[in-house]
Structure 1
Amino acid sequence: MALHGALFADGVLMYGTITAPLPSTGAHAAWQVYAGVVDVPSSPDELDLGELMAQTFGKEYSEVGAYTESFVTDMGLGFGFMAQPPVRVPEGTTDETSDDCRIGLAGALACPVGGVQGLLVIGTSLNPEQVREMAGLVAAIAGRSVFVDVQVGQ
């Protein structure tokens, strides 16, 4: 419950772990997916997904080549990316690790035209070769989500 409270305090509304066989290969997925509300500019022209990802993930994101795409969502606008960034192994680690250790990373942002707030969905995969399948799930979550007004007590 402490993890749930900490994630919720940081704006994460949904999180989960996916471990299931992939229909395409039968290999098991090992993914983590998070979704949360983020502030976005009111003008789509001011929205830079690369900059948002660099703010979210730090300088490492800007150093990694990523595929990006815009798409229509139920909320209005959508922007997505997928990449296979390297994992930095802490110094002093004694386990054998590859110099080319990578993960799969995918994200999608959905927001209404006129912005203010949007839904950012991020997924990580322990297997970087599964990034395309995971990106499809991340895009589907962001693409089909909408914000609703909820009246307390009704």
Structure 2
Amino acid sequence: MKRILLFLILLLVFVNCSKDSQEVKEVKKDPKEIKPCQVPPPDFILLINKSSELYKEFTNQAGEIDKANISFYKQFSREEKQYDSILFGSFKPEKNNDYLQIIIGLPFENDVYTGKTETLYLQNATRTYKIEVNGYMKDTECGTVAITNEIRVDGTKIEVPYLAK
């Protein structure tokens, strides 16, 4: 039986800037007039609907997140670069949907948002997903943020942010 899965990955970058400081303007000479803002390091976030069949691939027999068998990596020739900064949580943006949230922390200077298509892999106990990310890091008034142009999972372009909606 052929399954059609909707894959979607979202990069969420939270910017702690006021509306005024987000506008492009000249830096004023008086430091009291400059509004502080910060940009956290970029995150690569995957959302999986907990009621989808795909969600079962990321849980163990007890129904808990199978953290021991979930990994995110990039392939370099014969070596794998593991992204060790992985967090798991719940995300509920809509009334009836609850999502598993897989968050991969990245440094500002990273090998994911390079301006060209980069290939990454998300692996669980039963399957490995090929994730192609086209994005770049953009300098803003508040700092550098990640911009995603396109994401494909196993060759299929997805709608951000859901791996399985």
**Structure with more of its chain in helix, by fraction:** 1
**Structure with more of its chain in strand, by fraction:** 2
Q: Which has the higher contact order (CA 8 A, sep 6+)?
A: 2
TM exceeding 0.5:
no
| TM-score, length basis structure 1 | 0.31
